Structure 1
């Protein structure tokens, strides 16, 4: 057992060396932290698709007081918790995804915002994260209404911040409904932000794919920072989502929440109706390459999206990936409190490592093989994020250590509980210490933990947040 762990630890150390010190490392060596941008192996970049302004979509009215459908996304014991979030940020999104050959979204959304700031507001701020250099998409919002009145929004910070003026100031406790029509283009073959957003290898990874309400911080105002190219690019509050997504019938899709209705259309597309419980973001994965394998653990349906064209390979990692996911969910349920949602999706993906979203995790396609010990590490890490980031939120851009260091600590929690030999957990802590010591031995700065992402230049982000950080939490536990 100790030898098994040392193989994992050596793999992690090998990749940390690759990232931090530009040394060579074997292909099997990875790191649980987001690592290098992936090398594109699919089609070359295409000429960017030009999307003319489409007509306004047919967008039904929404009864915001009815949250019954959202309870379907929760495990029965947690269904009534949804009632507490009636006044949370609410999204109703209708979207159509086509391939031209880029991935093109034509969409509209209704958003209800209830002012809980304690102040009167004359402006709401939405983030168009897709327009940031970190994500590299092209989002255009071409129509905005506030309570049925057309308004002209303003754009700033590289078109990633959209200010929506309110015709009448919104008092504390009051609500307002907005309508937005928008398009989004993901350039085929352009994989950015660790693979969390893009259309690569025939896989659509959609996060930050809709205009998102920013966070209003008392005494400061709306959060409008431009995220760093490294680290997580967004900062959001919990909300309730209903999404109607139409895409070609050959695409297999999984989303945050649960799909409660499926409709086949005469034009060869399928429309999926998805609802969530209280979640911090909405994301989905879609590909014609995917097939589904599923099981249940502790009352949650675990859905594996994995490549159909690799399923018959003797090295396919789906079976062991499922084992690791079940084990991680059970350990963290017992340690941190029960995962409240009805589903958890684990998706094979072109990411170089792993990325988390509420109810969905992406796992590196190159790690999805039997015998690759990093597969266990990254699944444990990303499932740990379902507690730290997804349930317990923080500003991931300003204080990345709160979720990333805690989640790296959950790797130790996982290995300590998953293996009978107590040395496994001890050796895992030693691996954090060794990577941190190696970093310092090069004379590199021992930066504080509580800095924003952009303050960590190059290798310092991984060394401080992903090794020094979990060591702090281990000591805190002791």
Structure 2
């Protein structure tokens, strides 16, 4: 996620004044921006703003109740065939030839990992999702099926409801689980606040397992949920009051399992930025029920679309992915462009009000993909979905997809490289974003400034004394400072400077080779600072710099 003030190209005195006004507006909305350069953004909230859970959700008019049948049927019980428990109903079944062609294409895109790179976790969970996004963007109904094999005795399955975190909840978003079954047996979920603000459902959802299962036994959980969507949210979940477009990222109950460690139950933090931790899963099916005529951008490979018989005037769009750790989608009357970039399918969708055309966004994204691949290795996904949304701050990353704000990618040239860099740092190699934010944000900052040629300036950055040499601190630690600018300075800019210094110490060629080794060794898993240090163990000067900045223990 890019969360700081972006630098325009060669600002004049007049453009600097205009930029300052834009930055004040963006940051007040919780904008996510890349590197600040010589500009310092104002704080997103007053210095005395309370920590997580301190600000209640403001009272709002109740959302309209969904009408008619959901386009996402409740999933069936365990043991069905390939399409048992399908979440959608098709007007016409896909022909055998269509299914075979789609499956062959999907298998081709699920080829083995590049030489030298760790393969996806063989026993990763399998997830099927459906979102019913119809004419009223304020309410989305959904269903989910998760099949996974825990590596320890399990008496409850834990999900995270991230739309209920403070920043999104205060904008009017809320995610509520409406039913749950475990291996076909009905269960009553237990919801805890876990950092959600007063008046919002909690971020921690526990689904009891009546008959505790031992390690190694597969569990199937079926959920239905309702998502209330806030208007013009400057975050990952929202809809546009201008044109009704809906953007949904991490907008479903996300399985909170981490192999070898168990459940991730850390409270949400009242600070801009991601706090998500998730293992990769096989996205067996992502179905999006949308009004006929709307464009749908998803996650993974687009398998196809068919009219729905459950909801007249709606179309079901289907996607699949071999190994991702999150899902995002966008629905609306968008202007789209698709092209192939070195074997990767790039899909871009922009609203009619977009400052830049879909082609301009595609040009900027393709350039970033190519330049970053030179340093980091092959692009990690076969498809990349790029959405421009009116109200999103400036950039939010997901595995194989990105949400951008309605700005010009040429006016803010650091924006696109930063978010594309997250496809490697957070997408391919995951991390606990709440505990170790530098493992994705500092590395994305470093990669951004490396390819835009501003690394020499980045390395001279001096962090404010309160956060100096505190690169490795958690988001909770930074939230306690009650000043979002310090998080941006301490993790992003200081972290980028640290990595550029390390590259100088090791030598560019050596550093680049060892960084690619880190990516290959830790692909498809959740990495830690210890893993990063292990990758550079042969270069004591790099380790000393990481310790100096507080990224790893001294």
Taking structure 1 as the reference length, the TM-score comes to 0.79
SS at match of 1:134: helix
Aligned twin of 1:41: none
Residues 1:397 and 1:468: Cα distance change in structure 2 (over 3 Å): same
Aligned twin of 1:342: 382
**Aligned counterparts, 1:256-275, within 5 A:** 256-265=299-308, 267-275=312-320
- Once the two structures are TM-superposed, the CA of residue 98 in structure 1 deviates from its matched residue by 2.5
1:199 aligns with 2:232: no
Contact 1:134 1:233 in 2 (8 A): no
From 122, 146, 150, give the equivalent of 1:111: 146
CA-based RMSD of the aligned residues comes to 3.7
1:404 aligns with 2:441: yes
**Aligned counterparts, 1:36-185, within 5 A:** 47-51=61-65, 57-59=73-75, 61=80, 63=82, 72=105, 76=109, 78-80=110-112, 85=121, 87-100=123-136, 102-116=137-151, 119-136=152-169, 137-157=173-193, 158=196, 159-185=202-228
Contact 1:73 1:342 in 2 (8 A): no
Aligned twin of 2:424: 387
Residues 1:249 and 1:475: Cα distance change in structure 2 (over 3 Å): same
- Once the two structures are TM-superposed, the CA of residue 126 in structure 1 deviates from its matched residue by 0.7
Aligned twin of 1:329: 369
Aligned twin of 1:277: 322
Contact 1:215 1:223 in 2 (8 A): no
Aligned twin of 1:254: 297
Instruction: Give, in whole Å, the separation in 1 of the partners of 2:203 and 2:25.
Output: 36
**Aligned counterparts, 1:231-242, within 5 A:** 231-241=273-283, 242=285
- Once the two structures are TM-superposed, the CA of residue 367 in structure 1 deviates from its matched residue by 2.5
- Once the two structures are TM-superposed, the CA of residue 170 in structure 1 deviates from its matched residue by 2.0
Instruction: Give, in whole Å, the separation in 2 of the partners of 1:62 and 1:405.
Output: 45
Q: Deviations over 1:359-416 (max 9, x none)?
A: 1112221235xx51x1x3111111100000000100111111110000011112322x
Which structure dedicates a bigger proportion of its chain to strand? 1
- Once the two structures are TM-superposed, the CA of residue 91 in structure 1 deviates from its matched residue by 1.0
- Name structure 1 gaps, 5 residues minimum: 39-44, 416-424
From 252, 265, 270, give the equivalent of 1:210: 252
Residues 1:331 and 1:366: Cα distance change in structure 2 (over 3 Å): closer
From 437, 442, 461, give the equivalent of 2:487: 461
Contact 2:459 2:496 in 1 (8 A): no
Taking structure 2 as the reference length, the TM-score comes to 0.69
Residues 1:198 and 1:37: Cα distance change in structure 2 (over 3 Å): farther
Instruction: Give, in whole Å, the separation in 2 of the partners of 1:68 and 1:177.
Output: 28
Aligned twin of 1:448: 470
- Once the two structures are TM-superposed, the CA of residue 323 in structure 1 deviates from its matched residue by 2.3
Residues 1:220 and 1:183: Cα distance change in structure 2 (over 3 Å): closer
SS at match of 2:356: coil
1:358 aligns with 2:391: no
Residues 1:73 and 1:447: Cα distance change in structure 2 (over 3 Å): farther
- Once the two structures are TM-superposed, the CA of residue 199 in structure 1 deviates from its matched residue by 1.0
Instruction: Give, in whole Å, the separation in 1 of the partners of 2:239 and 2:25.
Output: 30
Instruction: Give, in whole Å, the separation in 2 of the partners of 1:115 and 1:70.
Output: 28
Q: How many residues align structurally?
A: 430
- Once the two structures are TM-superposed, the CA of residue 324 in structure 1 deviates from its matched residue by 2.2
Contact 1:406 1:473 in 2 (8 A): yes
Residues 1:123 and 1:298: Cα distance change in structure 2 (over 3 Å): same
- Once the two structures are TM-superposed, the CA of residue 327 in structure 1 deviates from its matched residue by 1.8
- Once the two structures are TM-superposed, the CA of residue 197 in structure 1 deviates from its matched residue by 1.4
SS at match of 1:276: strand
Contact 1:75 1:340 in 2 (8 A): no
SS at match of 1:250: coil
SS at match of 1:47: coil
- Name structure 2 gaps, 5 residues minimum: 1-5, 46-58, 84-99, 197-201, 505-554
Segment of structure 1 superposing worse, 379-388 or 81-90 = 81-90
- Once the two structures are TM-superposed, the CA of residue 86 in structure 1 deviates from its matched residue by 5.3
Residues 1:467 and 1:224: Cα distance change in structure 2 (over 3 Å): closer
Instruction: Give, in whole Å, the separation in 1 of the partners of 2:446 and 2:107.
Output: 27
Contact 1:46 1:187 in 2 (8 A): no
